[in-house]
Copies of this chain bind each other. A is one copy, B any other.
C-alpha cells in the first residue's frame, strides 16, 4: 500500500485529496480494479462530495456540527467524542473503481479527507486491487 501525508490546519476541515489518490493509481499501472482509500485514525474520516463550489464543504462541516455538537454531555475525557462520532458517520474508507488505468469518479466528485479533531499530521493509506486474475 501507499501512504499519503496530510497536514490539517483547522479543527474541522475537508481537504481535497483527489489528485494525490489519482497519482498513486496512475503510478501503480493497474488497468482494471479498485482503489481503497483508508484513514487509519479514529477522529478523521473520508468522503466523496462536490469538487466545484467550496460552499458545499462549508455546509457539510456546519451541518455535521449541528447534528453532532462539539459539547453534548459526552463521557470521554479527551473532549473529542464529537470527532469520533462524525468520523463513524462519514466513514473511514472510500472505494473507487479503476478502469483504463485511472480512477473513475463522477464529473462533480472529489475525494475529501475529513479532519474532525485537528490541526494534526494525518495519514491516508491507499491500496490498489486488480480485477484481472
Question: Chain B residue with minimal CB distance to A14?
Answer: B88
The reply to whether B53 and A96 contact each other, CB–CB distance below 8 Å, is no
Q: How large is the interface on A (under 10, 10 to 19, 20 to 34, 35 or more residues)?
A: 35 or more
**Which residue from B55, B72, B82, B87 sits with its C-beta under 8 Å from A76?**
B55
Quickly give the copy total for this chain. Answer: 3
Q: Which of A48-65 contact B (CB under 8 A)?
A: 48-50, 53, 55-56, 58-60, 62-64
Q: Does A9 contact B (CB under 8 A)?
A: no
A96 to B125, CA, bound (A): 10
The reply to whether A81 and B106 contact each other, CB–CB distance below 8 Å, is no
Interface bits A35-58 vs B (CB < 8 Å: 1, else 0): 010111110000111100101101
